[in-house]
Amino acid sequence: MNRLAALLLLAAMAGTCPARAEDWQAFKDWQAFKDRLTAAGVTPSAVYDGDVAANTSGGVKQGTIYSGNLHLQAALDGNRLAGMPGVTAFLDFLWVNAGQPSKYVGDAQGVDNIAAAPTLRPYEAWLQYNFPGSRVSILAGLYDLNTEFYHLTSADLFLNGSFGAGPEFGLSGLAGPSIYPATSLGVRLAYKPSANSVLRFAVLDGAPLLRQDGSPPPFDPDNGLLLVGEAVFLTRTPTSEAPPEPRSRSRIGRLSKLPPYDDKLAIGAWYYTAKFDELSGVNPDGTPVQHHGEGGAYLLVDHELFQSTEIPERRLAAFLQFGVADQVVDRIGTYIGAGLVASGLLPDRPDDELGIAMAMARNGSGYITAQQQAELPVSPAETAIELSYLAQITPWLAAQPDIQYVISPDTDPRRRNATVAQLRFELSF
């Protein structure tokens, strides 16, 4: 029995067999221990994600591969630990221990958003101060932009990498922006003009802190800087609002424990200050033309289409992502993603989600010209269509069967459309 079949069987058994009493007691004991630590100001957690992906047809070749990562995290409350109201800190150590399905699929966007080169590294390590009055927050350190910027809650369901930060941004810069799996040092400032609007700005090193190619150290002039700004507008119905907390300053920034939004509109822009090789421009001596800077912009919409008054967990939401980038140096010139997500469809499974989504990454004019100059065939775009179901089996175990159909992988017309079946599971403590 191969790995995929074994895990499918495991998930089916987990979903139908009751947990043993000793398993539940161990979980309760751990939760009680965590509660005591949290009361003292330290909240530890561990999250392991595993994914078996099988490219069943098309792409580069058929095959099955396993991907996995482990996050060891600790959130620190400055007020409880040291009598410093408004101060919080967060530590996240990452271990990536497996392979990359895209070597079978041959796609550009990435069918598995946890797949990465094996690594063991600090992933996030930041300190945040929320000013009195619940309007201003400043954060500094090793920081994942995608936890706040270019982020939609509904899109979190899907496994394709484009449903995080779109590929026009995610594949930009010297080695990508400060997102999974490699983050950068920087500073983020957030300001709340009103209860349901946020303005965010970030300045980060133009390259990840720990690159595997022996690149320059942090904030080397060759790296330049990455500048990102975003304006966010939210709606929250009275029924979704959580009771006000005693410390209102905790209502902005990371770890703010805000209630979920119903609707979200975000407009963002980003810019690298470094120099980049043009994709198709060549000097008389044959070297690439240098282009100063690289930038882009994006629009995000998350909208609740329906929510049951009798069963609030039963809802239907739609989302849209649209991004553009500098086509002179960025391969992906435009990106559009959209999807539908339904939750609480089964009365006894309020936390389960079902969704379908599409991600289309279109090549920019510079990349198409470069391919044509090299006499290589090229298609205009790569499109991934994804169907996914998330089953929350226990408070600490979730399983997610997923299927993706990738049209024109890597925009190479010589590659047949690929069908990829995945099974994701998550253990969280």
Q: What's the CATH number where 90 sits? A: 2.40.160.180
How many C-beta neighbours within 10 Å does residue 416 have?
16
The whole-angstrom separation of Cα 262 and Cα 402 is 25
Query: From the CB of residue 67, how many other CB atoms can be counted at a distance below 10 Å?
Result: 22
pTM: 0.89
Domain residue limits at 381: 3-16+30-428
Extended strands (E) in 195-256: 197-205, 225-235
Q: Is 23 domain-assigned? A: no
Instruction: Let me know if residue 24 belongs to a domain.
Output: no
Average pLDDT, the chain: 89
Residue 22 lies in a domain: no
Residue 197 included in any domain: yes
Report the distance separating Cα 35 and Cα 51, nearest Å.
30
Residue-wise pLDDT for 372-388, tens only, equals 999 999 999 999 999 99
Sign of the CA dihedral running 114, 182, 229, 74: positive
Dump pLDDT digits (tens) for 243-302.
Answer: 444 444 336 888 887 888 999 999 999 999 999 998 888 888 878 888 899 999 999 999
Structural domains in the chain (count): 1
The residue written with tokens 């595997």 in the block is 212
User: pLDDT tens digit string along 405-414?
Assistant: 999 999 999 9
C-alpha radius of gyration, the chain, whole number: 22
